[in-house]
């Protein structure tokens, strides 16, 4: 039995979590109420501009929101997202760190920082942030998905399978999930389970009309049978 070779990338869900809620009121009283409201308005304006794809204009609003209320942790977190999407990872990291410093119980910046660590090839740090995200927000499924990908990179295939199971419970029609879980089963020396998942993945790829992925999946199935 051959293990699955990396002829097809494992799925990593590229989600940058954009908060669509009003920013939190700071816990201290050193920000005037008028400035808090001004910051909220600017923050919401920035979110709308992000939805329209105008990241630079959104960044200006985030800057003004933070200037009005330097304790607006949501604004820092989402300004980090804007910097990330503008391909400025160092600035993104600074903003995620500041958001966490201001509100350690806010799950969003941990997830976003974890994704940034993942993209930078720092899986150990990514896992720590995904763990924290899940501890604060156990229902946030993208954190399980990305953690599964990183755990498989780190060689924890059993942990990856458990996370894929969680994601599949929520979205059973995403073929890449079965392909990725099959890879982890194969690494653990369980070809029967791997083949079951590859069969399911091939059915879903065929249903999608994704012929390229379907052919690659069939190729992997042939490898396992050898």
The answer to whether residue 50 is domain-embedded is no
1 pLDDT above the threshold of 90? no
Spatial distance between the Cα atoms of 178 and 175, rounded to a whole number of angstroms = 5
In tens, the pLDDT along 132-187 reads 999 999 999 999 999 999 999 999 999 999 999 999 999 999 999 999 999 999 99
Give residue-wise pLDDT tens across range 160-171.
999 999 999 999
Determine the structural domain holding residue 217 and report its residue range: 173-226
Q: What pLDDT score does 9 carry?
A: 47
Answer whether 24's CB lies under 8 Å from 103's CB: yes
Residue 31: the pLDDT is 83
Inter-residue contact 99 to 76 (CB < 8 Å): yes
Q: What is the mean pLDDT of the chain?
A: 88
What is the residue-wise DSSP string for 1-22?
Answer: -PPPPSSSPPP---------SP
Q: Which residues, including other chains, have CB under 8 Å from residue 18's CB and lie 6 or more apart?
A: 47, 50, 78, 81
88 belongs to a structural domain: no
Please indicate, yes or no, if residue 189 is contained in any of the structural domains: yes
pLDDT at 3 (0 to 100):
54
In a domain, 5, yes or no: no
> Is 143 part of a structural domain of the chain?
no
Helices (H), the chain: 33-51, 55-68, 73-85, 89-102, 107-119, 123-136, 141-153, 157-170, 175-187, 191-208, 211-225
Q: For residues 21-39, give the mean pLDDT.
A: 70
Residue 197 within any structural domain of the chain? yes
For the stretch 113-135, what's the b/e string if a residue is b when 16 or more beta carbons lie within 10 angstroms of its beta carbon?
bbbbbbeeeebebbbebbebbbe
The number of distinct structural domains making up the chain is 1
**pTM for the whole thing?**
0.86
Q: Which of 18, 16, 37, 17 is nearest to 26 (CA)?
A: 37
* Pair 142, 15: CB distance under 8 Å: yes
Inter-axis angle of helices 123-136 and 107-119, to 10 degrees?
160
Q: Quick one: tokens of 107?
A: 């799950």
Indicate the DSSP class of residue 121. T
Does residue 202 belong to any structural domain of this protein?
yes
Write out pLDDT tens, residues 94-112: 999 999 999 999 999 999 9
pLDDT value for 13? 44
Is residue 108 situated within a structural domain?
no
Tens digit of each residue's pLDDT (9 = 90 or more) over 208-218 = 999 999 999 99
DSSP character at residue 100: H
pLDDT at residue 224 in the model: 82
């Amino acid at each position: 039995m051959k293990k699955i070779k990396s002829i097809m990338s494992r799925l990593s869900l590229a989600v940058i979590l954009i908060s669509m809620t009003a920013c939190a009121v700071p816990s201290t009283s050193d920000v005037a109420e008028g400035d808090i409201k001004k910051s909220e308005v600017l923050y919401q304006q920035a979110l709308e501009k992000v939805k329209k794809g105008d990241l630079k204009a959104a960044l200006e609003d985030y800057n003004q929101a933070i200037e009005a209320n330097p304790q607006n942790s949501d604004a820092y977190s989402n300004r980090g997202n804007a910097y990330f999407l503008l391909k400025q990872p160092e600035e993104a990291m600074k903003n995620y760190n500041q958001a966490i410093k201001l509100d350690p119980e806010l799950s969003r910046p941990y997830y976003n920082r974890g994704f940034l660590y993942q993209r930078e090839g720092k899986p150990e740090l990514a896992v720590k942030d995904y763990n924290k995200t899940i501890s604060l927000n156990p229902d946030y499924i993208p954190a399980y998905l990305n953690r599964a990908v990183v755990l498989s990179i780190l060689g924890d295939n059993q942990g990856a399978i458990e996370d894929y199971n969680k994601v599949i419970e929520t979205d059973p029609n995403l073929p890449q999930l079965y392909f990725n879980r099959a890879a982890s089963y194969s690494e653990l020396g369980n070809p029967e389970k791997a083949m079951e998942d590859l069969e399911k993945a091939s059915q879903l790829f065929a249903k999608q009309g994704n012929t390229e992925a379907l052919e690659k999946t069939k190729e992997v199935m042939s490898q396992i049978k050898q």
